[in-house]
Chain A
Amino acid sequence: MKKPSSFAAGTIIHRGGFTLQRRQVRLAWLMLVPALAVLIFVALYPLVQTVYSSFTDEQFLGGTTHVVGFANYYNIFTNNTNTAASYPDFAAATILTLKFTVWSVVIEFLLGLGIALVLNSQFKGRGGMRAAMLVPWAIPTVVSAQMWKWMFNDISGVVNDFLMRIHVLSAPQSWLADPSTSLAAVVAVDVWKTTPFVALLLLAGLQVIPTDIYEAAAVDGATGFQKLWRITLPLLRPAIAVTLIFRTLDAIRVFDIFNVFFGSTIGKLTMATAIQNTIVSNNEVGYGAALSVVMFVIIAIFVVVYTTVFKVEQQ
């Protein structure tokens, strides 16, 4: 971290007898107070409240709340899918979320890396390509989900029409309803929406690699592949780490596309849509809070694993 200005603060005496140093400290806290107040109020307090609720049977507008100890957690870990109490199948939701996360992050990373490498070289139309990449990024996720839902339409969707014209399909496919293609359909939308962002992050990493390394490698007779494998990828590691961490965390929290495509369809819930359904549609605030805590812990595990892996590799 770069040290802030090191001029002789504290030696200049100002009105009121305060030294500049002390006035700076006072001002710093004054300037931080509004932000701290907001964050404590909108994030920290609700988070504490969530942890508390997770030990209760609180229901939205539902009379008295009782403390039930670990009952909610017990039901989650035994995967109690009691329909009378409208508990979602959270185990299934977790598995679906992880499947989605792995597929989308892997594809987005590989595709994004390819695009970043292409954009990092000079060619005609590079600026246009970069602008085209920002289009999917700029469109709101739910709006793009609606656009794709229409493209995936069983009867008059363009995906079916196109694939039948080129004779890949002989009959229309119900992309979203058919369990064998529904996950692929969601991943296709997420890849479309998010790859540009991945490519931009990796491109920024590529642009700080000094070119003279490549020139030296060329003098030594390195092949294109050797340059990629031995220079580009190792030097890109910090950018790769950051990209993977944030993409993974985003994918685990996925809500928008699944909610637009499947709503609360049984078997197509992710962790986030299951929790939202439990709280908002079924009014089970206490149980939903326990689910939120479990999800929070899963996310925390991912953060710890990722940071450890990348730290170990760097040593």
Chain B
Amino acid sequence: MSTSVIPPTTIVAPPTKSGRPARGQQRNPVLRGLFYLVILVLAFYMLFPFYWAIRSALVPESAAGDTPVQYWPSNPTLSNFGDALTGGILKQPLINSAIVAGSVTLLSLVIGASAAYALGRLRFRGRTIMMYAILSMTIFPQIAILGSLYTLFSKWGLINSEWSLIISYLIFTLPFTIWVLQSFFRTMPHELEESAYVDGASPFRTFWSIMLPLAAPGLVTTGLLAFINAWNEYLYAVSFLQTADHFTVPVAIVEWPPSTGSQFAIPWDHVMAGTVIVTVPLIVLVLIFQRRLVAGLTAGAVKG
């Protein structure tokens, strides 16, 4: 699954800023210039494809296939964005994806937070085995059960239904959520629970009224990661969904119907407008929650 369910790692990542070797402030001007050149090339490689999608979305249909290629659109137009959104090619999939990713995130958080608290804070026999089982599930290859799920869902009439995705996406969101949250719970100070117990609170009440609210930042991070992973999933979506009205965003972007007039050509200007529309919200989300996401990505087995 190249949607990469982000693996838990054994890395601790407190952002430190102290006394790093200051390569940017090299005294040698040649080395310093070279250093910034490398950085520029890397930034170009990472950002250019996205620039190109935007450029292609702004070029009017009549000039989409022009050669030589215009690197800066001479007559930019926003009409491609309108065309991509009207006609339901993208609108319905956006709604479908929001329903699927939203439900999966909610379910993973509710089920995952309770399991994570049990694993991270409560003492019981069999905890270590459970931890290993959950950890090994985070690298579970989704393709291994594609056939079984396909038959199972068809028996229940769930093929071509969003339910098939809401159920099956839990395979990768739930183990990951449990793993990251249990490490989060583990870092919280014991004094909180102890004083609650001393005051006569039951273990569940301690979890519900004290620990869970304090875990809100962890819930936000894992929730975001679960949402992004569910939003981006393609293998199950392309296998279980059959008609355009049920497609999620990734399937819709790939199976974009040819525009009327040219029967076989892919309408790249519309497709690129579509990719920009579905990508911009994700980029905004990621940039807003930058620090938290990086911490969530690299945390994980931290204090395991």
Contact = CB atoms under 8 A, between A and B. Distances in A.
Contact of B290 (A27, A131, A208): A131
Interface stretch (A34-42, A75-83, A87-95): A34-42
B156 interface: no
B6 A197 contact: yes
A32 B124 CA distance: 11
A194 B18 CA distance: 28
B146 A192 contact: no
A279 B146 contact: yes
A245 to B, nearest CB: 8
Contacts of B257: none
A225 B218 CA distance: 39
Interface stretch (B72-80, B81-89, B164-172): B164-172
A208 B12 contact: yes
Interface residues of A, number: 117
Contacts of B112: 35
B62 to A, nearest CB: 13
A34 B186 CA distance: 21
B20 A122 contact: yes
Interface residues of B, number: 123
A214 B140 contact: no
Interface string A234-259: 00001100110110011001111101
A296 to B, nearest CB: 5
B141 A299 contact: yes
A255 B143 contact: yes
Contact of B4 (A35, A194, A214): A194
Main secondary structure of the interface of A (DSSP, over half): helix
B118 A32 contact: yes
A146 B277 CA distance: 14
A255 B228 contact: no
A135 B66 CA distance: 28
B200 A250 contact: no
B11 interface: yes
Given A23-B202, A39-B175, A292-B144, A140 B118 contact: no
Contacts of B194: 5, 7
Contact of A21 (B71, B123, B198, B298): B123
- Provide the main secondary structure of the chain B interface: helix
A208 B11 contact: yes
Given A121-B21, A242-B9, A42 B147 contact: no
A242 B7 contact: yes
B49 interface: yes
Interface string B5-24: 01101111111111111111
Interface of B: 1-4, 6-7, 9-25, 35-36, 38-39, 42-43, 45-47, 49-50, 52-53, 56, 64-69, 71, 111-112, 114-115, 117-125, 127-128, 130, 137, 139-152, 154, 167-168, 170-171, 174-175, 178, 186, 190, 193-194, 197-198, 200, 202-204, 207, 228, 231-232, 234-235, 238-239, 249-250, 253-254, 268, 271-272, 275, 278-279, 282-283, 285-287, 290, 293-294, 297-298, 303-304
Given A121-B21, A204-B298, 8 more contacts: A31-B118, A32-B115, A46-B149, A132-B43, A134-B293, A145-B254, A155-B67, A275-B146
12 contacts: A1-B303, A31-B115, A121-B22, A123-B35, A123-B39, A124-B24, A150-B268, A153-B268, A156-B65, A201-B297, A208-B13, A253-B1
Q: 7 smallest A-B Cβ distances: which pairs?
A: A123-B24, A35-B115, A204-B13, A204-B298, A46-B148, A121-B23, A46-B145
Interface of A: 1-2, 4-5, 7, 9, 12, 14, 20-21, 23-25, 27-29, 31-32, 34-36, 38-39, 42-43, 45-47, 49-50, 53, 58, 60-61, 115, 118, 120-126, 129-148, 150-151, 153, 155-156, 158, 161, 165, 190, 192-194, 196-197, 200-201, 203-205, 207-208, 211, 214-215, 238-239, 242-243, 245-246, 249-250, 253-257, 259-260, 271-272, 275-276, 279-280, 285, 288-289, 292-293, 295-296, 299, 303
